[in-house]
Amino acid sequence: RAKMTRRGSHVIFESAIRQELENRLTLESELALAADRGEFELFYQPQVRLVDGSLVGAEALIRWRHPARGYVSPGEFMPVVNTSALSERIASWVMETACRQARAWELSGNGVRVAINLSPSQLDSGDLAHSVAALLKTTGLTPSLLELEVTEDILLHDESRVLDMFKRIQQLGVRVLFDDFGTGYASLSYLKKFPLDGLKIDRSFVLDLLADSDDAAIVGSTIGLSKQLGLTVVAEGIENRATADFLVSMGCEEGQGYFFGRPMPAVAFEKQFLAARLEAVSAA
């Protein structure tokens, strides 16, 4: 009997794996089709100076506009994209689309810094510094209007190569920020190894900041550490004014979160954030 049960669960396990594999393959082919059909879109979320809420930048965040399901979040498909043959194609599309958008805003007299999330494939293959330089040249975008966000899983790649690449990217005038700071296991050692311009405190420490004294201690010391190292610090996941005020009292300069604005299509971002800023300028 025991043997039969074991065999039984073995069969169930196998079919679960097969099911998962099938789901993945289906999703992969749907994603390839989506890329062909132009179903990906970049949303933009405002980044602000916390003391006065003024706009300092926008983070470009990918969405999949699914014909039946509506907008799908990157959490549901980027892990598959990043481990499939589509990775480089979508990463290049993100980079090109964001740079073109940033250049269009710059040309309209409404320049705003745009931050892009890098994918692992961009550090694996080819020369990222070279493609960034080429893109700046073809679009005409001012380098200081571009920022790249990297996460710890990206930094796990060949260290000396990544180090060299970052240096060359920064020589172009493009900033590199460490995203989701504090969630990985070696954040501090990466700060020491890589020439980063700043870090983004992960939203998991910010969301509950007012209620959780451990989070407050972690965020407070991360802000202090950043300042001592001369790094820009950006808090993500700010959902209310009290959290923003608390961050200001701890010395945090920049932030983003639903309180200031959700990620939104480029046109909505223009209307809500860029046009308002132009009006403020012309009224002054």
- Residues in touch with ligand C2E (CB under 6 A): 45, 61-62, 73-75, 78, 94, 117, 119, 149, 179-180, 203, 236-239, 256-258, 263
Q: Measured between alpha carbons, how far is 107 from 142 in angstroms, rounded to an integer?
A: 10
Q: Measured between alpha carbons, how far is 19 from 155 in angstroms, rounded to an integer?
A: 32
Count of residues that bind Mg ion according to CB under 5 A: 4
- Picked from Mg ion, ligand C2E, none, the partner binding residue 62 (CB below 5 to 8 A depending on kind) is ligand C2E
Q: CA-CA-CA-CA torsion for 7, 12, 17, 20, nearest 10 degrees? A: 180
Nearer Cβ to ligand C2E (8/126): 126
- Picked from Mg ion, ligand C2E, none, the partner binding residue 61 (CB below 5 to 8 A depending on kind) is ligand C2E
Nearer Cβ to ligand C2E (22/89): 89
Q: Which residues contact 258 (CB under 8 A, 6 or more apart)?
A: 238, 239
**Per CB under 5 A, does 106 bind Mg ion?**
no
Region of 212 on the Ramachandran plot (φ > 0 left; ψ -120 to 50 alpha; else beta): beta
Q: Measured between alpha carbons, how far is 249 from 266 in angstroms, rounded to an integer?
A: 32
Options 149, 215, 253, 270; binder of Mg ion; rule CB under 5 A: 149
Nearer Cβ to ligand C2E (8/79): 79
Nearer Cβ to Mg ion (1/91): 91
Options 45, 84, 87, 117; binder of Mg ion; rule CB under 5 A: 117
- Picked from Mg ion, ligand C2E, none, the partner binding residue 78 (CB below 5 to 8 A depending on kind) is ligand C2E
Alpha-helical (H) ranges within 117-184 are: 120-124, 128-139, 152-155, 159-171
Least CB distance to ligand C2E at residue 21 (A): 23
**Per CB under 5 A, does 139 bind Mg ion?**
no
**In the numeric block, which tokens belong to residue 15?**
């079919």
Nearer Cβ to ligand C2E (13/258): 258
Options 180, 215, 254, 270; binder of Mg ion; rule CB under 5 A: 180
**Per CB under 5 A, does 84 bind Mg ion?**
no
Write the single-letter amino acid at 168: R
Q: Measured between alpha carbons, how far is 160 from 214 in angstroms, rounded to an integer?
A: 35
Q: Are 47 and 55 in contact (CB under 8 A)?
A: yes
Q: Measured between alpha carbons, how far is 65 from 72 in angstroms, rounded to an integer?
A: 6
Least CB distance to Mg ion at residue 203 (A): 7
Least CB distance to ligand C2E at residue 123 (A): 11
> 255 pairs with which residues across the strands?
48, 235
Task: Using the Cα atoms of residue 145, residue 151, residue 152 and residue 156 in order, give the sign of their dihedral.
Answer: negative
Least CB distance to ligand C2E at residue 71 (A): 10
User: Which residues of the shown chain bind Mg ion in the complex (CB under 5 A)?
Assistant: 117, 149, 179-180
